[in-house]
Structures are given as C-alpha cells and as structure tokens.
C-alpha cells in the first residue's frame, strides 16, 4: 500500500464488510487485527476505526484491488458461516473495484473447495489474468 490513508481505508472496508451480517465475530476481529498489524496500523488506531466511519478510498492499482478482494473473501470465511448478505456484498465490492465478476466467482468457488479456505497467490492472480486474454 502506498499511503497511510490507503491502508486505513482498507481496514475501514474490512470492518464494514465484517459487520454486514450484523455481528462482529471474534475470528473476524482477530483477522482484521492481524491485517492491521501487517499494514503497520497501531491497535489504538484500529479501535478508533470501529467507532468512526469514514469515506473508503478507491484502490487504483489492480494488484492491490485483487489482494483486498482476497482479504475480504478470507474475512468472509473466517467465522465459518457464509451469510447471503456477505455473498451479495463481496460481489458488489468487487464490481465497484472494477474486478471481473467471473474471476471473482472462480476465486470464491476455489476457496469454498479448499480444505483451509485459501488459494495460493499464483492461482489467485491467474484467475484474474485469464480474463484479460
């Protein structure tokens, strides 16, 4: 991520997505906290994000948009319960990011079929790259 504000925006989007089903599960909170640590965001700042809603910035770089989509998909899987609202919302977010709907569907299906709900990085990028040909 390029700027501090972009990293904050990513976390805000994840928090918003985690609350789509009306509840923040412990596993979702833990996952967001891990991502915040990886992004270099202090815990105090993260806690403020839960209390304050701000505008989410659009990610310009396609690679970072794919990474964010995958983070959201992992977050969706983290509580072990797939809500219809989560499925609808992740597709809306992906389309708003400008990602290919067919590639998004393939990624979500691959995650569903995976025993640990994960997809390796090369496969993830390949699913989105195939659509460019």
- pLDDT category at 20 given cuts 50, 70, 90 is confident
- pLDDT category at 131 given cuts 50, 70, 90 is low
Domain count, the chain: 2
- The pLDDT, as a whole number, for residue 46 is 92
DSSP, residue by residue, 15-55: HHHHTTTS---HHHHHHHHHHHHHTT--HHHHHHHHH---P
As a whole number of Å, the CA-based R_g of the chain is 14
Domain that holds residue 10: 3-52
Q: 34-74 pLDDT, tens per residue?
A: 999 999 999 999 999 988 876 677 778 889 899 999 999 99
- pTM of the predicted model as reported, rounded to 2 decimal places: 0.76
User: DSSP character for 131?
Assistant: G
Same domain assignment for residues 25 and 68: no
Same domain assignment for residues 21 and 77: no
Q: Is 57 part of a structural domain of the chain? A: no
Same domain assignment for residues 41 and 69: no
**The two structure tokens encoding residue 50:** 């839960």
Same domain assignment for residues 34 and 66: no
Same domain assignment for residues 38 and 96: no
Helix (H, G, I), strand (E, B) or coil at 56: coil
Same domain assignment for residues 48 and 66: no
Q: How far are the Cα atoms of 61, 103, 118 from residue 110, in angstroms, in the given order?
A: 23, 10, 8
């Amino acid at each position: 991520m390029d700027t501090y504000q972009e990293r904050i925006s990513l976390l805000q989007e994840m928090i918003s997505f985690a609350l789509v089903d009306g509840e923040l599960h412990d596993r979702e909170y833990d996952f967001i906290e891990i991502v915040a640590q990886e992004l270099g965001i202090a815990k105090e700042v993260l806690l403020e994000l839960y209390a304050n809603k701000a505008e989410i910035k659009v990610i310009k770089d396609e690679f970072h948009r794919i990474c964010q989509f995958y983070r959201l998909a992992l977050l969706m899987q983290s509580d072990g319960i797939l809500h219809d609202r989560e499925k609808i919302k992740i597709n809306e977010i992906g389309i708003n990011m400008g990602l290919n709907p067919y590639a998004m569907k393939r990624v979500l299906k691959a995650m569903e079929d995976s025993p640990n709900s994960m997809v390796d990085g090369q496969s993830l990028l390949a699913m989105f790259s195939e659509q460019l040909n």
